[in-house]
């Protein structure tokens, strides 16, 4: 007996490619048995590469100033209710100290596009962290910059860069962003980052306003072409002070199905179970891991600013200290049969400089 769903899963897995029809078949899944088949295949694929290890990345949200005005984002420049802050270099180093003590080997510096942090400031910061923690990776997630800026960060020692493409469809991109931003530039930035030598992460939000299945398929095509080292996906969650405040949130189920598909398409990719997924569903991150995700990004930001870096409503872990999240996560990971990795967690086969 043929099963369209399971056949699609097998073909995606074997071909490392996907057709529009296969994507549609999988995302329209309404059978528990089929769903479990997909998750099992995705899990097997991840476990073969990562041996049930979960990589933790310490996330330091160092500025919530942003010159951009993305319609979905709580720290958009038009949001006058956002309580703005910047961390000093010393404060950021302190976050790294705490993270290092907790065993984290990657520090992710994430912020809005804040002109205060010039290339020189970013480079100095990266050099300071790499000097103090040479065995750790530094990941930047600070938006769209010129080729020369990216190159300077890389030369200062930054290892990885996260820049979600948000949507590969230009028209859809235009419905999520003001005209000052373009999908074409976003994609060019990702190409530049790869060319320079970063481990590069792209990604999308699931269930953004106006998103269609065709858009998601375009995202798949784009990612198959880009060959990213990391893919960040999480559900869209409305923020009360944005133009999308009344829009419905993205679906947890769709996010998890997509995580599983991505794992089958990209067996080696670093795939976080995101904080947004953990916000949309109390067990979202566990469900993500059981669908093939292998990364979690615990928050290392100082407790007094956590409640200010709010891209969406209801964000988890804004009241916890780094040490509390660490224990909580370790327990959650072990409860589902996984364990926290000790290594730096580079892309499989990656050769460090």
139, two tokens: 């990941």
**Tokens 């860069």 belong to residue:** 161
- Residue 69's nearest CA partner among 55, 61, 80, 60 is 80
Q: How far is the CB of 54 from ligand FES (least distance, A)?
A: 12
d(CA 218, CA 136): 35
145-204 residues near ligand 5AD, rule: CB under 6 A: 164, 166
Report how far residue 294's alpha carbon sits from residue 271's, in angstroms, rounded to the nearest whole number: 6
CA distances, 15 to each of 9, 126, 212, 348, 352 (Å): 10, 40, 24, 20, 30
# binding residues, ligand 5AD (CB under 6 A)? 12
217, 236, 266, 309: residue in contact with ligand 5AD (rule CB under 6 A): 236
Q: Does 324 bind ligand FES (CB under 6 A)?
A: yes
Stretch that binds ligand 5AD, among 38-46, 232-240, 262-270, 293-301 (CB under 6 A): 232-240
Kindly state the smallest distance separating residue 48's Cβ from ligand FES, in Å: 27
Q: CB-wise, 45 or 208, nearer to ligand 5AD? A: 208
SS3 assignment, position 204: strand
Q: Which is nearer to ligand 5AD, 38 or 252 (CB)?
A: 252
- Residue 223 lies near ligand 5AD (rule: CB under 6 A): no
Least separation in angstroms between residue 16's CB and ligand 5AD is 25
333 is a contact residue toward ligand FES (CB under 6 A): no
Lay out the site mask for ligand 5AD across 253-292 (x = CB under 6 A, - = otherwise). Answer: -----------------------x----------------
> From the list ligand FES, ligand 5AD, none, which binds 218 (C-beta under 5 to 8 Å, kind-based)?
none
Query: What element of type H or E holds 119?
Result: helix 119-132
Smallest distance from the beta carbon of 134 to ligand 5AD, in angstroms?
27
CB of 189 closer than 8 Å to CB of 168: no
137, β-bridge pairs: 106
**Among residues 237, 291, 297, 316, which is the contact residue for ligand 5AD, using CB under 6 A?**
237
Closer residue to ligand 5AD in complex, CB, 283/323: 283
Nearer to ligand 5AD, 72 or 173 (CB): 72
* Closer residue to ligand 5AD (CB): 177 or 239: 239
Shortest separation between residue 53's beta carbon and ligand FES, angstroms: 18
166 binds, among ligand FES, ligand 5AD, none (CB under 5 to 8 A by kind): ligand 5AD
| Strand-pair partners of 161 | 140, 200
Contacts of range 277-282, beta carbons closer than 8 Å, 24 or more positions apart? 277/234, 277/235, 277/252, 278/316, 278/317, 279/237, 279/312, 279/314, 279/315, 279/316, 280/234, 280/235, 280/237, 280/249, 280/250, 280/252, 280/255, 281/252
d(CA 44, CA 241): 41
Residues that bind ligand 5AD (CB under 6 A): 72-73, 164, 166, 205, 234, 236-237, 239, 276, 311-312
């Amino acid at each position: 007996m043929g099963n369209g769903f399971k056949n699609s899963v097998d073909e995606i897995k074997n071909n490392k490619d996907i057709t529009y029809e296969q994507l549609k078949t999988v995302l329209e899944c309404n059978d528990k048995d089929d769903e479990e088949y997909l998750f099992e295949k995705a899990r097997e694929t991840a476990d073969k590469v990562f041996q049930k290890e979960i990589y933790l990345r310490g996330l330091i949200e160092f500025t919530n100033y942003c010159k951009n005005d993305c319609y979905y984002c709580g720290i958009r420049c038009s949001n006058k209710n956002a309580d703005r802050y910047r961390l000093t270099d010393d404060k950021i180093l302190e976050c790294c100290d705490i993270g290092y003590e907790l065993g984290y080997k990657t520090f992710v510096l994430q912020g809005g596009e804040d002109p205060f942090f010039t290339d020189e400031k970013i480079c100095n910061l990266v050099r300071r962290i790499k000097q103090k923690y040479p065995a750790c990776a530094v990941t930047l997630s600070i938006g769209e910059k010129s080729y020369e800026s990216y190159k300077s960060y890389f030369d200062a020692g930054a290892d990885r860069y996260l820049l979600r493409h948000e949507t590969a469809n230009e028209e859809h991109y235009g419905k999520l962003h003001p005209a000052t931003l373009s999908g074409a530039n976003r994609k060019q930035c990702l190409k530049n980052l790869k060319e320079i030598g970063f481990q590069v992460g792209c990604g999308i939000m699931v269930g953004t306003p106006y998103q269609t299945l065709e858009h998601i398929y375009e995202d798949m095509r784009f990612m198959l072409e880009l060959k990213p080292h990391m893919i960040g996906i999480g559900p869209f969650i409305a923020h009360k002070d944005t133009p999308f405040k009344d829009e419905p949130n993205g679906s947890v189920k769709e996010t998890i199905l997509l995580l599983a598909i991505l794992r089958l398409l990209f067996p080696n990719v670093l795939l976080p179970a995101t904080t947004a997924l953990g916000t949309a569903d109390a067990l979202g991150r566990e469900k993500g891991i059981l669908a093939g995700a292998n990364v979690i990004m615990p928050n290392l930001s100082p407790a007094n600013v956590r409640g200010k870096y709010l891209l969406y409503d209801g964000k988890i872990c804004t009241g916890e200290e780094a040490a509390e999240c660490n224990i909580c996560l370790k327990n959650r990971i072990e409860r589902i049969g996984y364990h926290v990795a000790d290594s730096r967690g580079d892309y499989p086969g990656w050769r460090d400089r």
